[in-house]
Amino acid sequence: MTAYTRVYTVIQSQTLAYRNYRLDFYSTDAFFFLVGLVMIGVILGSKKLGINPDNVATPIAASLGDLVTLALLSGISWGLYKEMKINAFVNLIVCLLFIALLPVWFIIARKNPTTRQVLATGWEPVIIAMAISSIGGLILDKTVSDPNFAGIAVFTPVINGVGGNLVAVQASRISTYLHMMGSPGDDIGLGSRKCPSPCRTFFSSDVNSRSSRVLFLLVVPGHLVFLYTINSMKGGHTTMTLIFMVFYMLAALLQVLVLLYIADWMVHWMWSRGMDPDNFSIPYLTALGDLLGTGLLALSFHVLWLIGDRDSDVGD
């Protein structure tokens, strides 16, 4: 969620913060339900059409996150704020409804062998990933607070979204490749990759190495499309100079390069220790993508400012 709107009294600010927390809680539950339905449809449709779900489902799930959450948050908040003017107990009623439904969903998930494991092991990576992403949020907040670097707010979701989607696809492909040869913890002759060689990760004849090269080559054309779109919409308060594009592309390439290398190590390491990479690796990798993308982009903006590549409209 964005920062809470400032109000003039302490009591009003605390009330608004409490209400926003509850609205975020409502929208999160609805988000998981809707995205779950969409992803089931995407995977079944991909299988029917003969498309590898690893190339489709993972980026769609990542892309839908922010879009669906913001849409639900705005819609639910508008409805509840409007209803609270008539019924002061509407928030309490909705909270009690969610609490009452919680045991029902828990029992349903526990009966399914596939989701039963997630109930016990799916919380740790999500919570740690949230903590890692929060560090990136602090970097972004510190940078945006300076009017000279206001343009970073438009480019951060782009660089983080592209990097996170690409590494999620790679992690999903490696995990599927390992699952085809056994179960997590099985010795399939690949080793734990305690310290994989970058040459082996990017330049070997292995199928996962080839996919790493393909995904890495998608960085520049993908970002060029987004940069052209931002420039066409006159967004970002950042002039698209050649030196800006060079620094931006260097940050994006370095981010994806590091993420793909970490993915190669992390997925194999988790596999060797009996952890399912599908449940553990992607939250960590996307969170690291947010941290790396935000940090490298903030560094690029600072360097551009120091060398004199500045905007006349920054802060407008």
Q: Which fold has domain 122-316?
A: Tetracycline Repressor; domain 2 (1.10.357)
The residue among 1, 161, 156 whose CA lies nearest residue 72 is: 1
Taking Cα atoms as reference points, which of 264, 143, 137 lies closest to residue 200? 264
Tens digit of each residue's pLDDT (9 = 90 or more) over 202-249? 888 888 889 999 999 999 999 999 888 888 887 666 678 889 899 999
Going by pLDDT thresholds of 50, 70 and 90, the confidence category of residue 28 is: low
pTM: 0.72
The pLDDT score that the predictor gives to residue 66 is 66
Alpha helices (H) in 147-218, listed in sequence order: 152-179, 198-203, 207-217
Quick one: pLDDT at residue 299? Answer: 93
**Can you tell me which residue has the tokens 């343009």?**
151
If one compares 99 and 61, the residue with the highest pLDDT of the two is 99
Distances (CA, A) of 218 to 3, 162, 284, 285: 34, 9, 22, 18
Say if residue 292's pLDDT is above 90. yes
Between 121 and 292, the higher pLDDT residue: 292
pLDDT at 31: 58
Amino acid occupying residue 80: L
Distance (Å, rounded) from C-alpha 208 to C-alpha 210? Answer: 5
Q: What is the pLDDT of residues 116-128, one digit of tens each?
A: 777 777 778 888 8
Task: Give the chain's length.
Answer: 316
Average pLDDT across the chain, whole number: 78
- pLDDT beyond 70 at 47: yes
Tell me the H-state helices in 85-151. Answer: 90-111, 113-121, 123-144
Domain positions in the chain: 1-86, 122-316
Q: What share of the chain is helix, strand, coil (3-state, %, to 5)?
A: 80, 0, 20
User: Which of 262, 253, 266, 182 has the alpha carbon at shortest distance from 218?
Assistant: 253
Whose CA is closest to 259, among 280, 282, 289, 296?
A: 289
Q: Which segment of 73-77, 145-149, 236-240, 293-297 scores lowest on mean pLDDT?
A: 236-240
Give CB contacts under 8 A, 24+ apart, made by 238-242. 238/151, 238/154, 238/155, 238/311, 238/314, 239/311, 239/313, 241/309
At 258 the pLDDT is 95
Among residues 158, 140, 132, the alpha carbon closest in space to that of 252 is found at 158
Amino acid (1-letter code) at residue 96: L
Mean pLDDT to the nearest integer, 181-188: 77
* Average pLDDT value for residue range 248-273: 92
Q: Say yes or no to pLDDT of 11 above 50.
A: no
69 pLDDT higher than 60: yes
Tell which wins on pLDDT, 13 or 31: 31
